[in-house]
Structure 1
Amino acid sequence: MKTSTERKLFQYAWKFRRNILIGLICLVVAVALELTGPFIAKRLIDQHIIGIENQWHQVEVADDHTVEYSNKLYKRSDRLSSSDRVLDTVTILQVERSYYFVNGEVPTSGNRQWQEGTLSIETDEQTYNAQAERLNIQQLYRFFQPEIPAIYWLLALYVLLLLIAAVFQFTHTFLLQKSSNRIIRKMRDDLFAHIQRLPIQYFVNQPAGKIVARVTNDTEAIRELYVRVLATFVTSFFYMAGIYIALLLLDVKLALMSLLLIPIIYGWMKMYKYFGGKYNTIVRSTVSDMNGNINEAIQGMSIIQAFRQQKQTSEDFEKLNGRHFDYQRKLVKLSALTSFNLVNVLRNIAFVGFIWYFGSSSIGVEGVVTVGVLYAFVDYLNRLFQPVTDLVNQLPQLEEARVAAKRVFELLDEKAEVLDHSQVDRYKGNIVFENVTFAYEKGNNVLKNISFNVKAGETAAFVGHTGSGKSSIMNLLFRFYDQQKGDISINGHPTKQWSRQQVRSHMGIVLQDPFIFTGTILSNVTMNDERISREMAIKALKAVGANRFIEKLPGKYEEPVKEKGDSLSMGERQLISFARALAFDPAVLILDEATANIDTETEQLIQQALDVLKKGRTTLIIAHRLSTIQQADQIFVLSHGTIVEQGTHQQLIDSSGEYYRMYQLQKGSVSVNAI
């Protein structure tokens, strides 16, 4: 069953679940602590700030909650204890911005008016009139004074909770980012390791720039998913859950009305996933195409400039860049619509519903809620839209990461070769091809019923026109590809019964255009293999004659070389590749047109190196220059995927066949038209 992209992302995260789980627990604690703020504010307002608007009882004994007024001690009704003896009851009420002291017990709810020393309180049942005395600032402060320690304590508690929340928030952020970076490192390691296991055919069909984009750009987009998007979504989820719980505790009906926000957000996310996913797929694909285009242009810059193709190259790039711009613009429009308009519309609708629900007549002395509840509800409602804003703002990154992950997992799902590095005994090099037929594409055979035998220690050469199948024979021997028909064996052992790594374990190859890696001359010989010591590498370089130019370099054997070895000549690069092959001491050596690009003077040095390299090995040579293979034990002449001639140099010359005509052509004795 095919695993979804989301499930694969989860599986990677699950490998680092401990830190992620701890981080999420810290997040929950931090959110819970932050959400205590409105509840603390509600208590502070209702019980300690406007709580003095209440019945007060005259008592005999002073304590922390008593207030002295007119030489009498008073205590709020909600502060009375069982030991207090009540002598009298008074009431403190607020009218507009002033507070009034009423001798006697009157209702604390109802419409109030104060005029010429008389306070009128109108309730649904009746109207109360009572003599009242306006309290000045000093007198009013006395009634607030018992609440000041509690107010300070609540404020200190809130600050302490915020500081603790900050510690948990830091821990959550640190752990999630640490885990995210580890996930991406693991993913990149897996991706790069997987790339090295892919068959050669995959790289034939995929530009290098596209593969590079998946390893770098796409994984970086996924990193943002774990660092930002995951944290934002989890934070928003817990924040909204906490806020809804708080709203339910404050007012069930309005909290249920606020739940309508959830299906709206869900529907919007589904819509964004459809359009955003479609646009991001094109954007990510175009970025890969651009990387491939740039890589190709840089690799071929000398040809582009030599043939004055800068304008055409720029136009090709501009087409890709234009497509990228168009779809990025569509994503910007979609993001602008979600991140700004949606949230503001929802916020405005919520506040309209809030005002409608409470109504101006409900927010008063006989209101359905206290001022503290009202403040807390407005605070929570405001807080509710922050995670909503965070959610919709992360939708672009979410879809970008999802599309990038899909591309990465498509590469990881490519069928790779099974690695088996277990050692096999060093074979001598008896190579047999028996009725081998091979095609890169079905129905187009490049080798047709090929059979030959190369004995251990022999040197065999393969010649023929371009496309005759010479390199295909080497590709099959190295198991870069497998034949469709026939058998290939080494020392009587079918190569298909060994893993590809086992087949190659005792083989070496020197290419027409040797590849030099960034590093030093020595590192290009040892390939950082622990089995090849510095002394072995220097000995190999000296054996092929490379020391002649290396000794003249400033750094000698530690001389730095850049990618492709552009600071070295073709002959120097070739000698280093010979030394590389010699250091690894292969039983079978393949030379793929190793002297094709070498000038005549350098060729003599290369031939001396080749003599050293071939000694005691089975050597297979693909050659264009027939002068370089005259000493070969066997020469196979190929034409259109078949062997048309076979023998030594002299035998083939004496037969006056295809090889003879090729030899005469290279000597200049025969014109091309004659052939």
Structure 2
Amino acid sequence: MSKPTTARRLISYALVYKFRILGAMLILCCSVAAELGGPYITKTIIDHHLSTGAQEIAPVLKLLGLYMGLLLTAGLCNYSQAYILQSTALQIIKNMRMDLMQHIQRISLRYFDTTPIGQVVSRIANDTEAVRDLFMSFMATFVVSIMQLIGIYVALFLLDWHLALYGLVLPPIFVVIMYVHLKYSKIFITIMRARLSDMNAMINESIVVMPIIQAFRREKVTLDEFEVLNKDRYVNQLKQFRIYALSSRNVVGTIGSLVTAMVIWYFGGKSLGSAISFGVFYAYIDYLGRIFQPIIGIFDQLTNAQRAFVSAEKVFTILDMEGQDVEKVGHVQRPEGIVKFDNVTFAYKEGENVLKGISFEARKGETIALVGHTGSGKSSIMNLLLGFYEPQEGAITIDGRNIKGMSKQALRKHMGIVLQDPFLFAGDIKFNVSLYNEDISLDRVKGALRDVGAAGFIEQLPNGYDEQVVERGSTLSSGQRQLISFARALAFDPSILILDEATASIDSETEGLIQRALKVVSEGRTTLVIAHRLSTIRDADQILVLHRGEIAERGNHDTLMALGGRYAKMYQLQKGASAVVG
């Protein structure tokens, strides 16, 4: 089944508020009718004046009163329809932005592995804003202009159908000009939107790694790279403006002036009295001049409309991606935590397996350590267990149940994770531990921080547990951030605790605190540890040594040391390095 076009999908968003839009259209019709009644009344006044010789003033005053009433009615209607249409447009974009944000939560992590963060931000912020311009421009300008054109031509035919036929020459000319404008303008607008996404991605990356840029003196190179993107966008924007300047007010105004001059010249060479009345001629010239304003209005909004369609295509591309619903999870029975990998094979890219036939079992309360060189597949095992990816072959079970058929939210409800590079959100410390989970009280937060040895430095902060930290927690040391991240995992009281190189960036004293806390908190929990510091996993129940996606060795510390294989060599190397440093 083919996907609906961008236009149809945009219309589907608008149809949610069809009654408000229809109401605004009715008000708009009244507004147009009131505005276009003015020249007709003026024509009547002129004809009356010429026929009676200005001897009867009462009818003229009535007509003038009616004219003023129509102007006031038109003003009120214009305000009402503009407010209704533009408030509706804002509501539509609010819904679209929420749909996009919700869908991003459902998309597989594979998308974020290959897509710069800045591009995703550009879709949510910039592209939806461009679509907003479409709805506001279309409903507040396009529809208004079209209604005005229809009303003008109706009025022209009511005046004199012979004269109205001259005006019918204009629409085909303007349609051709619009077609050419849209055809060539879209090329440059597409490039401009792509460069904006690239610039957002580069800005985001530069801010995140600013210490690296400054430390390695990459400021000028970074600026040069940004200038290439910025200049390319500038050049294409100039080209688009040239098309706009040529085909909008310039062409429309010139054609309008020429047509008006031709009409005046044609009828000026004849006796108006014998051809048409002077009042009809005045009203015709007035209506003819009004034709060009809606046309210019449409031209002015073509660029916004085209930019919005290009942006909408990018937004709908994300919305079309497959994703899994974020389900509401109520009470989920706490699992015992028996984790089993049964001949699991996995690849991020088809044909490039990073895990090959992985099989192991972690019983309740056991600590399983994964060691190996970078790229051996340690983090991939954790990603599969958390349900971030699906294995190509084999099965992963918890308490004998295959996690493939489980809700991801239910799967992760009783899991805790601590990453090598901890992330702290903007907010206070207690929020970063509880994440606003209603089941986690302040006492529980303090207890978790105390268990991991973080209470000491937190209570010395000016605001204690209410101390504000900026995004990524850059006001704290790496060790302090890691301790808070560790406390976050413990506060959720998981059945399965995952430590992904959690002690890699912690000093020896802090590591000692965590090791003592681990002995307490891992009691009764299944703990899986990825470790580079082999000294931290000597007490693990089972150590799996990974090499090129396969389990090369397995056993506890003493067994593997006695084996004298890869683990023993890595341990001796680290021990020797520690001795040299010491």
TM-score, normalization: structure 2? 0.96
Alignment check: 8 A CA contact 2:35 2:71 kept: yes
Report deviation, 1:531: 2.7
Report deviation, 1:370: 1.3
Greater fraction helix: 2
2:554 to 642, 646, 661: 646
Give the Cα separation in 2 of the matches to 1:418 and 1:52.
78
- Is 2:459 aligned against 1:551? yes
2:68 to 147, 150, 159: 159
For 2:194, the equivalent position in structure 1 comes to 285
Cα deviations by residue, 1:50-106 (Å, 9 ceiling, x for unpaired): 2224xxxxxxxxxxxxxxxxxxxxxxxxxxxxxxxxxxxxxxxxxxxxxxxxxxxxx
Report deviation, 1:539: 2.6
Give the Cα separation in 2 of the matches to 1:21 and 1:524.
48
Alignment check: 8 A CA contact 1:433 1:487 kept: yes
Give the Cα separation in 1 of the matches to 2:192 and 2:335.
51
Cα deviations by residue, 1:542-596 (Å, 9 ceiling, x for unpaired): 2322221111112111111110001111111111111211121111110000000
For 1:405, the equivalent position in structure 2 comes to 312
Cα deviations by residue, 1:621-641 (Å, 9 ceiling, x for unpaired): 000001111111111111111
For 1:3, the equivalent position in structure 2 comes to 4
For 1:335, the equivalent position in structure 2 comes to 244
Is the alpha carbon distance of 1:241 and 1:653 closer, same or farther for their aligned partners in structure 2, counting shifts above 3 Å? Answer: same
For 1:94, the equivalent position in structure 2 comes to none
Greater fraction strand: 1
Alignment check: 8 A CA contact 1:463 1:638 kept: yes
Alignment check: 8 A CA contact 2:344 2:359 kept: yes
2:89 to 171, 175, 180: 180
For 2:481, the equivalent position in structure 1 comes to 573
Report deviation, 1:654: 1.4
Which stretch shifts more, 235-244 or 160-169?
160-169
Report deviation, 1:662: 0.7
- Is 2:37 aligned against 1:16? no
Q: Secondary structure at the match of 1:487?
A: strand
Give the residue type in structure 1 aligned to 2:364.
A
Q: Secondary structure at the match of 1:668?
A: helix
Alignment of 1:88-487 (within 5 A): 144-145=54-55, 147-363=56-272, 366-423=273-330, 424-487=332-395
Q: Secondary structure at the match of 2:52?
A: coil
Cα deviations by residue, 1:327-356 (Å, 9 ceiling, x for unpaired): 101110011012222202320332144135
Q: Which runs of 5+ in 1 are unaligned?
A: 54-143
Q: Secondary structure at the match of 1:433?
A: strand
Q: Secondary structure at the match of 1:482?
A: coil
Report deviation, 1:312: 1.1
Which stretch shifts more, 486-495 or 597-606?
597-606
Give the residue type in structure 1 aligned to 2:290.
R
Give the residue type in structure 2 aligned to 1:163.
L
Give the Cα separation in 1 of the matches to 2:93 and 2:148.
27
Alignment check: 8 A CA contact 1:479 1:500 kept: yes
Give the Cα separation in 2 of the matches to 1:344 and 1:392.
12
Give the Cα separation in 1 of the matches to 2:77 and 2:350.
62
Give the residue type in structure 2 aligned to 1:257.
Y
Give the Cα separation in 2 of the matches to 1:533 and 1:376.
77
Report deviation, 1:195: 0.8
Alignment check: 8 A CA contact 1:229 1:397 kept: no
**Which protein has the larger Cα radius of gyration, Structure 1 or Structure 2?**
1
Give the Cα separation in 1 of the matches to 2:579 and 2:540.
26
Q: Which runs of 5+ in 2 are unaligned?
A: none
Give the Cα separation in 1 of the matches to 2:180 and 2:333.
61
- Is 2:435 aligned against 1:527? yes
- Identity within the alignment, %: 49
Paired residue total: 578
Alignment check: 8 A CA contact 1:509 1:589 kept: yes
Alignment check: 8 A CA contact 1:578 1:613 kept: no
Give the Cα separation in 2 of the matches to 1:2 and 1:479.
29
Report deviation, 1:422: 4.1
Is the alpha carbon distance of 1:20 and 1:533 closer, same or farther for their aligned partners in structure 2, counting shifts above 3 Å? Answer: farther
Report deviation, 1:414: 1.3
Alignment check: 8 A CA contact 2:420 2:501 kept: yes
Cα deviations by residue, 1:591-615 (Å, 9 ceiling, x for unpaired): 0000001111221122233334323
Alignment check: 8 A CA contact 1:593 1:621 kept: yes
Give the Cα separation in 2 of the matches to 1:281 and 1:573.
42
For 1:505, the equivalent position in structure 2 comes to 413
Give the Cα separation in 1 of the matches to 2:560 and 2:193.
57
Alignment of 1:18-57 (within 5 A): 18-47=19-48, 49-53=49-53
Give the residue type in structure 2 aligned to 1:377.
Y
Alignment check: 8 A CA contact 1:664 1:670 kept: no
Alignment check: 8 A CA contact 1:474 1:590 kept: yes
Q: Secondary structure at the match of 1:579?
A: helix
Report deviation, 1:409: 0.8
Give the residue type in structure 1 aligned to 2:301.
Q
Give the Cα separation in 2 of the matches to 1:643 and 1:232.
66
Cα deviations by residue, 1:214-267 (Å, 9 ceiling, x for unpaired): 101111111111112331100100000000000001111221221222222222
Q: Secondary structure at the match of 1:394?
A: helix
For 2:472, the equivalent position in structure 1 comes to 564
Alignment of 1:579-598 (within 5 A): 579-598=487-506
Give the Cα separation in 2 of the matches to 1:661 and 1:564.
36
Give the Cα separation in 2 of the matches to 1:302 and 1:632.
37
Report deviation, 1:671: 12
Give the Cα separation in 2 of the matches to 1:410 and 1:275.
23
Q: Secondary structure at the match of 1:390?
A: helix
For 2:523, the equivalent position in structure 1 comes to 615
Give the Cα separation in 2 of the matches to 1:337 and 1:516.
53
Give the Cα separation in 1 of the matches to 2:443 and 2:85.
48
Alignment check: 8 A CA contact 2:137 2:305 kept: no
Report deviation, 1:303: 0.7
Cα deviations by residue, 1:154-210 (Å, 9 ceiling, x for unpaired): 212211111111111111111111111111111111111111111000001100000
Give the residue type in structure 2 aligned to 1:213.
S
Q: Secondary structure at the match of 1:597?
A: coil
Give the residue type in structure 1 aligned to 2:385.
L
Give the Cα separation in 1 of the matches to 2:64 and 2:420.
79
Give the Cα separation in 1 of the matches to 2:491 and 2:26.
56
Cα deviations by residue, 1:253-287 (Å, 9 ceiling, x for unpaired): 22122122222222222222221222111110110
Alignment check: 8 A CA contact 2:105 2:326 kept: no
Q: Secondary structure at the match of 2:51?
A: coil
The two structures, once aligned, show a CA RMSD in angstroms of 1.6
Q: Secondary structure at the match of 1:322?
A: helix
Is the alpha carbon distance of 1:555 and 1:159 closer, same or farther for their aligned partners in structure 2, counting shifts above 3 Å? Answer: same
Give the Cα separation in 2 of the matches to 1:456 and 1:332.
67
Give the residue type in structure 1 aligned to 2:424.
I
